[in-house]
Structure 1
Amino acid sequence: MWMKDGVNMVAVLIGIVILAIIVYAGVLVYQQRIRRQVTALTAKKEAMVEIPLEEELHLVGQLSLTGQSADQYDELKADFVDINENRFVRIDEQLTQLDADSRGMNLLQLNQRLTKVTTLVDQTQELIQTVQGQLTHLQEVDKQHRQAVKELEQEYQGLRKTLLAKNFAFGPSIDGLEEQLSHIEDNFDTFSRLTDEGDHERAADVLTQLQEDTENLKALIKATPPVYKDLTVVFPDQVKELRAGYDQLTAQDFKFGEADVPALIKAIEDRIKENLDTLSQLRPDDAKVVNDRIAKQIDQVYDVMQTEIDAKDPVEANLDGVAKFIAHAQNQSHTLLSELDRLGQNYTLDHQELETARELNEQLRSIDGIYQKDVQDLAAKTATFSQVLAHQQQQQKDVQQIEEQQGQIMQSVAGLADEERQARDTLQQFDFNLHSLRRQVENINLPGIPQDYLDYFFVVRDEVAQLAKDMDQPQIDMERITKQLLIIQTDLDTLQEKTDDLIDSAELAEQLLQYANRYQTSHPDVAAASKKASDLFETEHQYAKALETIATVLDEVEPGSYKRLEDAYYQSKGKTAPHRDDTTD
């Protein structure tokens, strides 16, 4: 038992020793890491010390800065003093203390001090970079401003030279342009003074406005001359040409209708004067818009006069042709009205042919009136050629349409007499067909005629009689006659079918009744059917029902007998048997 406790104690002691060794080793490693970081921070601080901030401050100080730039420079010098006399000293002290402490065992304090000195080094480096950047900016701004002074001075000399050498090209704008240039040069003097004094912050504000004003002036100098040239050279020459052209055309008896050419030219001249005022206000863009409108006004006056010039020759060339065209349509109108009057005595004109022809004649009269007025105005030299040409073109179009309508009317009534002759021939044929159908029925000597057949026959007979009556009227309505012809033809075709069915049903029923006699004694059902069919035939005159009654019972007694007898019947007539229902098969 004692030996066992002793072994356990030794194991615990060994564990404690091993743990102590591990802890000690960790502390040594951490101390070494701290010392490496101290070395790195020391190197970083020494690199910052090597930066020539003092030389850069000296160079910027020689620029003789004033105003906000001088205030900024003083702030940078104060930052330099803080870096050189305060921050670097504190960094050295903290790094020395941290190196000494790194040999001790207070690890928590070591980490806190390392964080503090690292932050101080980083902040100092950032401050040095800021100071460097602002010093460089001051140098660059000074360089840019002095270069801008040289460039702007040359540019203003060029603008002044342009305004002096070409003041004639700017017209009423010259005073305003020179005033703007003078204002810009005053601002330039201010900029130059601030630059020489080193007050670059204020100089920058002046430079921005100076550059904007300069660009505006350059744009005005570029835009003004072409607008002024149009207003003083191009447009006046065109107006002069318009006046000369108008005087020449009026001397040649040209007229311009409702267009008051002198007033249009005067309006152009007034607008030119107004636009010169706009240009004097240094608004070349607005003046350019108005110039475009003036150019359109001038083109419109040119077009008014050119339209009359272009219309003269076609008007004179069209006179005879239009006169002949109108005369031809008038002659055709007279012929059409005479023909319609004649036809109207014998026929009913259902489509307002006569009224339409009279309206067309009135239209021709109106067209001829306008034509005659134009001829008189041309002879009196008071006509506006473009208006006369428009009349001629419309007259040709209207007269052509009128002649087409006249032709359509003439064509629609031209065949009335032929239609009447054909209708009378058809009426005779209808009457003949009715008598023929009647004889066909009478020739088979039936005991009686079914009432429905008689009713239909009389309807068709009355239709034919009404057609004959309508054909004998003083005025024949051929449109109505034509409709009646179509209806009667259809009804006659139906009557023919009914007649054929009546005759075929009656004759076939007689044959089947005779054929059924052979079965009457042996088949009571045949005898009964024959009796019923005979009654339908002789008394009720229902031949189709009689045929169906006897055919049905015969097919039951002798299958196929009805079809055989039916086929033989139609073959004897030279016809094909009609389709039959399966009930009679």
Structure 2
Amino acid sequence: MEVVIGVLLVLLLLFGIGYFIRKNVYREVDRLEARKIEIMNRSLVDEMSKVKNLKMTGQAEELFERWRNEWDEIITTQLPEVEELLFDAEDHADKYRFKKSRQVLEHIENMLDAADQNIEQIIEEIYELVSSEEKNTTEIDDLREQFKKAKKTLLAYSHTFGKAHPALEAELLAIYEGMKEFDAETDSGNYLAAREILMKNSEELTILQMKINQIPSLLSECVTSIPLQLAELLEGYKEMEEQGYFLGHIHAEAEAEKIAVKLEEYKERIEQTDIEGIQEALHDINESIETMYDLLEKEVRAHHYIQTESAKAEAELFELDRQKLQTSEETDLVKQSYHLTEQDFEKQRHITKQLSMLRKRYDHVKMNLTKDQIAYSILKEELTELEKQILIVKKEHEAYREMLLALRKEELQARQQLSELKVMLTEAIRMIQKSNVPGLPEAYKHLLEEANVSVKKVAVKLEEIPLDMVAVNILLEDSADIVKKLSLQTADIVEHVFFIEKIIQYGNRYRSKNSGLAVQLKEAEDLFRNFQYDASLEKAAAAIESIEPGVMKRLENSIEEDLEKIK
């Protein structure tokens, strides 16, 4: 029983698969049938009717007959065969011959594709034939008009074409024969062949017109313009040589000969109407001539520069020599009173050496000026470089002289600063004495001694010969720091002493009433007598402020008035 059920299930499955495949075949048959009908409905009558407006002879007639025969072949043979094959495909599907049915359907698809392509090809060829006739009608008129203009130009300006005129006329005649051939092909209905002839003639006439436009100017350049420029160039070249210019590096005569040979070659090519690349070649020749003119002008400018600048360079060297001697004398005087480093002497030696080299270079340039085998442009470069080096040495020399002057200036500044430090030191001592300070802290006494010693060291160093300003400046900087520190501490001590005395005097009114305050003021007085003014001020201020807050501010104002009296 299970076997029977299994067989039935397999049979049902196979039946279902077969049904599905046959349904797909029928669907594909319907699609191809619809495509076949679409092709049948694509009538070429309208397209082919456009051709009937043309002359139905020759190529047009042959093409028309071929298109009609191909269309008849599609309608009467290929599509009926497709119809039969569609029936065969359905019949194979009904008999479950699915593979055979698929092969038939693929063959039908290929046949319909070929028919479609054939129709498209026919439509395209019809369009090409008709459009060729339309374009030919329009473009031949333009071609004939251009031909007339070209012919008129050749007749009116024949003298400007030289020996190229016969060749140009021959090319024009060939185009004329081509237009006659075009007319013959058109009359014979060979529109496509006529189209090819027209396009060829149009291209040839464009090239001919370009030759007609360019040949007169090219010939003029080769025969007249460039040779005239060369003649003027060579004439100027020889005149400059006679005037003493050395121009061997320009090679103008050799270059002119090469150009003359090229011009003859280009002229022969132009006479044969072969002008390709000649315009660019003549442009290069003109640039070459312009370059030689520039080189000659460069020599003239260099000659003028040398005439005007060589004397200036000699004068500057003479002045630099004079200043160098003066600086040497100043150095001898300065080193008697000042200490100069080895680096300073090396700068002087370097300047002397550089000046000697500059003199030799100038003598070399001056000697070359008497020769006739050196170009002025080369001499100008040497002179220009010499002037740059003179400027560099002048700057180095000026810097060295400024260094010598700076030594004297530094000395005067140092003496002025030392004088100011002495005044500050004297002022600090005077303030201490005038303020009746009961005594001085040991640290202050030590600082005062240190300040006196540092000032004396600077004074002694300034009197040494030779004077070492580097050492002077170091000592002067140290002394300035010490004296300034002393001045600040002096002001602090005097201010604290006045402040403490004022606070204790003010606090005495509370001593009998406040035993704690009395004790604190007594401690402040003991510190004061031991010259511990900072601690004494702190102790007294804290005590009085605790009894009467804000009193310190009022006392400060009173003390400032007292301090002003001793300043």
Note whether the superposition's TM-score is higher than 0.5: yes
Q: Which of 542, 553, 566 is the aligned partner of 1:552?
A: 542
Q: How far did residue 562 of structure 1 move?
A: 5.0
Distance 1:210 1:488 in 2: 107
Relative to 1, partners in 2 of residues 1:262 and 1:341: Cα closer, same or farther, differing over 3 Å?
farther
Q: Say if 1:156 and 1:185, in contact at 8 Å, map to a contact too.
A: no
Q: Say if 2:504 and 2:540, in contact at 8 Å, map to a contact too.
A: yes
- In the alignment, residue 416 of structure 1 is paired with which amino acid? L
Q: Which of 164, 171, 177 is the aligned partner of 1:170?
A: 164
Q: How far did residue 466 of structure 1 move?
A: 4.0
Other-structure match for 1:219: 210
Other-structure match for 2:83: none
Relative to 1, partners in 2 of residues 1:154 and 1:383: Cα closer, same or farther, differing over 3 Å?
closer
Other-structure match for 1:238: 229
Other-structure match for 1:367: 358
Cα-to-partner distance string for 1:391-415 (whole Å, 9 max, x where unaligned): 4455555545544553444234325
More deviation, 454-463/241-250: 454-463
Q: Say if 1:187 and 1:206, in contact at 8 Å, map to a contact too.
A: yes
Cα-to-partner distance string for 1:233-289 (whole Å, 9 max, x where unaligned): 221222222222222211221113743434443454455456557757856352111
Cα-to-partner distance string for 1:417-476 (whole Å, 9 max, x where unaligned): 354245345435534643663565467776653344345435434533442453344443
Other-structure match for 2:296: 305
Q: Say if 2:302 and 2:376, in contact at 8 Å, map to a contact too.
A: yes
Q: Tell me if 1:571 matches 2:561.
A: yes
Relative to 1, partners in 2 of residues 1:562 and 1:305: Cα closer, same or farther, differing over 3 Å?
closer
Distance 1:298 1:224 in 2: 22
Q: Say if 2:336 and 2:466, in contact at 8 Å, map to a contact too.
A: yes
More deviation, 466-475/291-300: 466-475
- In the alignment, residue 253 of structure 1 is paired with which amino acid? G
Q: How far did residue 521 of structure 1 move?
A: 3.4
Other-structure match for 2:376: 385
Q: How far did residue 193 of structure 1 move?
A: 3.0
Q: Say if 1:256 and 1:304, in contact at 8 Å, map to a contact too.
A: no
Q: How far did residue 223 of structure 1 move?
A: 1.6
Question: What are the equivalent positions in structure 2 for 1:391-540 lying under 5 Å apart?
Answer: 391-393=382-384, 395-396=386-387, 398-400=389-391, 402-417=393-408, 419-424=410-415, 426-427=417-418, 430-431=421-422, 433-434=424-425, 437-438=428-429, 441=432, 449-478=440-469, 481-482=472-473, 484-486=475-477, 488-513=479-504, 516-539=507-530
Other-structure match for 2:190: 199
Q: How far did residue 294 of structure 1 move?
A: 1.0
Distance 2:326 2:248 in 1: 39
Distance 1:139 1:425 in 2: 112
Distance 2:544 2:373 in 1: 105
SS in 2 for 1:334: helix
Distance 1:77 1:446 in 2: 141
- In the alignment, residue 232 of structure 2 is paired with which amino acid? E
SS in 1 for 2:277: helix
Q: Say if 2:136 and 2:195, in contact at 8 Å, map to a contact too.
A: no
More deviation, 189-198/432-441: 432-441
Q: How far did residue 304 of structure 1 move?
A: 1.4
Q: Say if 2:244 and 2:372, in contact at 8 Å, map to a contact too.
A: yes
Runs of 5+ unmatched residues, structure 2: 1-48, 70-126
Q: Say if 1:374 and 1:383, in contact at 8 Å, map to a contact too.
A: no
Other-structure match for 2:111: none
Distance 2:356 2:409 in 1: 33
Q: How far did residue 295 of structure 1 move?
A: 0.7
Distance 1:238 1:150 in 2: 41
Relative to 1, partners in 2 of residues 1:366 and 1:184: Cα closer, same or farther, differing over 3 Å?
farther
Q: Say if 1:187 and 1:210, in contact at 8 Å, map to a contact too.
A: yes
Q: Say if 2:321 and 2:355, in contact at 8 Å, map to a contact too.
A: yes
Distance 1:147 1:566 in 2: 118
Other-structure match for 1:265: 256
Relative to 1, partners in 2 of residues 1:66 and 1:383: Cα closer, same or farther, differing over 3 Å?
same
Q: Tell me if 1:543 matches 2:533.
A: yes
- In the alignment, residue 164 of structure 2 is paired with which amino acid? F
Q: Say if 1:253 and 1:382, in contact at 8 Å, map to a contact too.
A: no
Relative to 1, partners in 2 of residues 1:242 and 1:521: Cα closer, same or farther, differing over 3 Å?
same
SS in 2 for 1:170: helix
Q: Tell me if 1:338 matches 2:329.
A: yes
Q: How far did residue 324 of structure 1 move?
A: 1.7
SS in 1 for 2:516: helix
Identity, % of aligned pairs?
A: 22
Question: What are the equivalent positions in structure 2 for 1:324-335 lying under 5 Å apart?
Answer: 324-335=315-326
Other-structure match for 1:103: none
RMSD of Structure 2 on Structure 1 (CA): 4.5
Runs of 5+ unmatched residues, structure 1: 1-53, 79-132, 578-585
SS in 2 for 1:574: helix
Cα-to-partner distance string for 1:96-152 (whole Å, 9 max, x where unaligned): xxxxxxxxxxxxxxxxxxxxxxxxxxxxxxxxxxxxx99998997897698689768
Other-structure match for 1:252: 243
Question: What are the equivalent positions in structure 2 for 1:99-114 lying under 5 Å apart?
Answer: none
Relative to 1, partners in 2 of residues 1:70 and 1:166: Cα closer, same or farther, differing over 3 Å?
farther
Matched length: 464
Distance 2:561 2:550 in 1: 17
What's the TM-score, normalizing by structure 2?
Answer: 0.67
